[in-house]
């Protein structure tokens, strides 16, 4: 088989034979510093790489000293936190302070005097040319010093953000940032008259343009948040440009090197507009894998594992099925490998999973083509911004006390997007996410989409709305779409009329699946302007490639030559008993269980038992 041949070829390659970009197997990376004996134990466990912390100012552990135990064991590494002082200035460990002490200080200053805009001048500003040169020079020097070892990647920063992670804040109103914003606004609007018409302002000169702060926007009574929302959009652009500057510096020093950020936060604010983020770096350590891969299929994604309890192992497998190319192990208490280099309890718990993934499964999945169904879910940062304002405005200045943790939950637009994605995948289907720009440029037609889902899409552009009106498939939403334009100004009339979409809440998807509707999606969707109420006729072509008779599982499908690879995993439930499921597919296939390497015969279906943690992984060949 091509799979087996690929494994033999990969096993035959030594470290010196692997190009920097040949990331074709799952990487298992130890984060904490370990000595040579401990790394030898970790290598036997399946660990492939470790971490080197960049020595930015000459006061840390010399890099040559850090890499010695990795070289002794034939392990690779990545270089960590090269420019945290620039990209993570307000979430950075500087004992004895709390990690976000600078952000807390800025909050206190702003609460004390909201009229003092210097409290929301980011330090350093992403627009500061001196800092840009400093960071570029540092990155080039770091890469040139390490390139002969070909690290896995170079991390620009860990837990980056405009402020503290994805905390909502009015950074950066410094003069340099506003100057950059004015240039960007000029490119966006074309004329000062157009900007004034949108914002409801009377600026006489571009140099006078100043956005509304959050406090000022909350005091408006006309629901025109465009000035404020444009500033939040600009900061996402500025952050992505700063990351791209760092990535370009890494590539300048070594064209095949990879630039990364870690600790990537949930889609939201503070720089976390994924439409920009996924194209700013090469590698992301992130949780929202499907969104990142939909917006940029070429971005390399990693996740972090904090424990090897059943829930932690379930998540590790779930992330692999969702496209993760590696895992970083956080082992602050030394339970993976003990100080005496003996394998710890947590390391023993990982052993079976690491053996299977590194034994061929990871290589196979990473080098197979993932399947997607003709279902698109809109990811709308503009709707996220407006929804945040609508939710927080009634609370007044309470937003000034919110921290990054508070922003991880809430925002109906983000929650609806995730809920729709979960509902669709639990019907055995693989949706894709689309951005507003993708819709504007014809992605619905080009990708053959048959069902478009608009999760709480309260803010749309006119170009988006026109593409949706022209769309010949089905459109569903949970609220009236397009009540605001893409800048955050409420419109007199929504951009989409009531007949363009059908209101279907995410939980109705799950209900349709549990009630046994076949095929499930057509039961609850309807096509705009279609005279017949027969919803089956609308989407009869959308049915799962692999049907599973259970509502608590997700299905992932890949193509490897003539083989179809199928992964089925249950939702995690502690102490859940095994569940018997039956898989059906069209036509007779030869069935190979990839985890046990056993042939299970030839059929058009399979009945198997799923436990609470491990997935069923099959290869189906004609």
Lowest mean per-residue pLDDT among 431-440, 474-483, 525-534: 525-534
Q: Are 236 and 276 in contact (CB under 8 A)?
A: yes
Domains 375-538 and 547-621 share a fold: no
Q: Are 526 and 540 in contact (CB under 8 A)?
A: no
Band (10; pLDDT cuts 50, 70, 90)? very low
Q: What local confidence, expressed as pLDDT, does residue 75 receive?
A: 97
**Beta-carbon count within 10 A of 522 CB:** 23
Q: What local confidence, expressed as pLDDT, does residue 515 receive?
A: 47
User: How do the domains of the chain map onto residue ranges?
Assistant: 24-172+237-367, 375-538, 547-621
Cα dist. 60→64, 179, 306 in Å? Answer: 11, 37, 26
Which has the higher per-residue pLDDT, 37 or 427? 37
In the predicted model, what is the mean pLDDT of residues 557-561? 97
Q: What local confidence, expressed as pLDDT, does residue 14 receive?
A: 36
Band (498; pLDDT cuts 50, 70, 90)? confident
Report whether pLDDT(526) > 70. no
Lowest mean per-residue pLDDT among 53-67, 133-147, 565-579: 53-67
Report whether pLDDT(532) > 80. no
State the Cα–Cα distance between residues 539 and 450, nearest whole angstrom.
7
583: β partners: 548, 606
Report whether pLDDT(19) > 80. no
Q: What local confidence, expressed as pLDDT, does residue 508 receive?
A: 73
Q: What local confidence, expressed as pLDDT, does residue 352 receive?
A: 97
In the predicted model, what is the mean pLDDT of residues 277-292? 96
The string of pLDDT tens digits covering residues 297-310 is 999 999 999 999 99
Q: What local confidence, expressed as pLDDT, does residue 7 receive?
A: 33
Report whether pLDDT(434) > 80. yes
In the predicted model, what is the mean pLDDT of residues 87-97? 92
**Beta-carbon count within 10 A of 176 CB:** 18
Which has the higher per-residue pLDDT, 1 or 174? 174
Q: What local confidence, expressed as pLDDT, does residue 541 receive?
A: 57
State the Cα–Cα distance between residues 489 and 483, nearest whole angstrom.
9
Band (22; pLDDT cuts 50, 70, 90)? low
Which has the higher per-residue pLDDT, 538 or 274? 274
**Beta-carbon count within 10 A of 589 CB:** 21
pLDDT above 70 coverage of the chain, percent: 91
Report whether pLDDT(17) > 50. no
State the Cα–Cα distance between residues 89 and 108, nearest whole angstrom.
17
Averaged confidence pLDDT in the chain: 90
Band (272; pLDDT cuts 50, 70, 90)? very high
The string of pLDDT tens digits covering residues 562-572 is 999 999 999 99
| CATH 3.40.50 holds for 375-538 | yes
The CATH superfamily holding the domain 547-621 is Golgi alpha-mannosidase II (2.60.40.1180)
CATH topology of domain 24-172+237-367: TIM Barrel (3.20.20)
Band (561; pLDDT cuts 50, 70, 90)? very high
State the Cα–Cα distance between residues 154 and 283, nearest whole angstrom.
9
The string of pLDDT tens digits covering residues 392-426 is 999 999 999 999 999 998 899 999 999 999 999 99
Report whether pLDDT(252) > 60. yes
Encode 553-582: b = buried (16+ Cβ within 10 Å), e = exposed. Answer: bbbbbbebeebbbbbbbbebeeeeeeeebe
């Amino acid at each position: 088989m091509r799979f087996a041949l690929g494994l033999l070829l990969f096993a035959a390659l030594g470290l010196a034979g692997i190009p920097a970009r040949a990331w074709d197997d799952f990487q298992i990376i130890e984060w904490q510093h370990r000595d040579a004996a401990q790394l030898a134990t970790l290598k036997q466990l399946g660990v492939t790489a470790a971490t080197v912390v960049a020595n930015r100012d000459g006061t840390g552990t010399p890099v040559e000293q850090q890499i010695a135990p990795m070289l002794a064991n034939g392990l690779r590494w990545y270089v960590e936190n090269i420019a945290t002082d620039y990209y993570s200035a307000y979430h950075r460990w500087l004992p004895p302070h709390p990690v976000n002490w600078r952000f807390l200080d800025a909050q206190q200053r702003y609460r004390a005097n909201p009229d003092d805009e210097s409290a929301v001048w980011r330090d350093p500003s992403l627009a500061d040319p001196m800092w840009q040169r400093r960071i570029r020079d540092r990155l080039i020097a770091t890469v040139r010093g390490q390139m002969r070892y070909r690290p896995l990647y170079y991390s620009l920063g860990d837990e980056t953000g405009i402020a503290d992670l994805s905390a909502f804040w009015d950074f950066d109103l410094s003069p340099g940032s506003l100057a950059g914003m004015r240039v960007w606004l000029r490119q966006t609007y074309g004329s000062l008259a157009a900007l004034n018409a949108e914002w409801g302002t009377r600026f006489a000169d571009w140099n006078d343009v100043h956005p509304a702060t959050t406090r000022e926007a909350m005091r408006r009574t006309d629901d025109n948040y465009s000035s404020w929302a444009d500033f939040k959009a600009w900061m996402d652009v500025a952050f992505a440009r700063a990351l791209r500057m760092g990535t370009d510096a890494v590539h300048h020093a070594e064209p095949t090197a990879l630039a990364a950020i870690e600790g990537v936060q949930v889609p939201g604010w503070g720089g976390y507009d994924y439409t920009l983020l996924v194209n700013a770096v090469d590698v992301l350590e992130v949780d929202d894998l499907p969104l990142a891969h939909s917006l940029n299929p070429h971005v390399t994604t990693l996740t972090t594992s904090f424990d090897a309890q059943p829930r932690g192992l379930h998540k590790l497998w779930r992330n692999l099925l969702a496209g993760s190319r590696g895992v970083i192990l956080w082992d602050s208490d030394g339970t993976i490998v003990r100080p005496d280099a003996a394998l710890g309890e947590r390391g023993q718990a990982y052993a079976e999973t690491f053996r299977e993934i590194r034994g061929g499964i990871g290589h196979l999945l990473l080098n197979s083509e993932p399947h997607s169904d003709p279902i698109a879910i809109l990811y709308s940062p503009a709707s996220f911004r407006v929804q945040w304002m609508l939710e927080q405005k009634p609370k007044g200045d309470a937003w000034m006390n919110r921290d990054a943790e508070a922003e991880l939950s809430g925002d109906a637009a983000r929650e609806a997007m995730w809920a729709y994605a979960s509902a669709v995948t639990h019907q055995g289907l693989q949706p894709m996410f689309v951005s507003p720009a993708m819709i504007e440029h014809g992605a619905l037609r080009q990708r053959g989409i048959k069902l478009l889902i608009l999760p709480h899409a309260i803010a749309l552009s006119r170009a988006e709305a026109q593409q949706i009106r022209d769309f010949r498939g089905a459109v569903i939403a949970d609220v009236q779409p397009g009540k605001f334009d893409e800048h955050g100004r409420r419109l007199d009339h929504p951009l989409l009329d009531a007949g363009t979409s059908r209101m279907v809440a995410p939980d109705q998807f799950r209900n349709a699946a549990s009630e046994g509707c076949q095929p499930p999606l057509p039961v609850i969707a309807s096509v705009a302007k279609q005279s017949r109420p027969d919803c089956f006729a609308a989407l009869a072509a959308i049915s799962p490639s692999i049907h599973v008779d259970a509502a608590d599982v997700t299905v992932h499908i890949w193509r490897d030559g003539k083989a179809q690879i199928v992964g089925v995993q249950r939702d995690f439930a502690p102490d859940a008993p095994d569940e018997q499921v039956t898989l059906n597919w069209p036509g007779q296939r030869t069935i190979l269980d990839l985890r046990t390497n056993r042939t299970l015969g030839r059929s058009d279906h399979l009945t198997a038992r799923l436990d609470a943690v491990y997935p069923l992984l099959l290869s189906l060949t004609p």
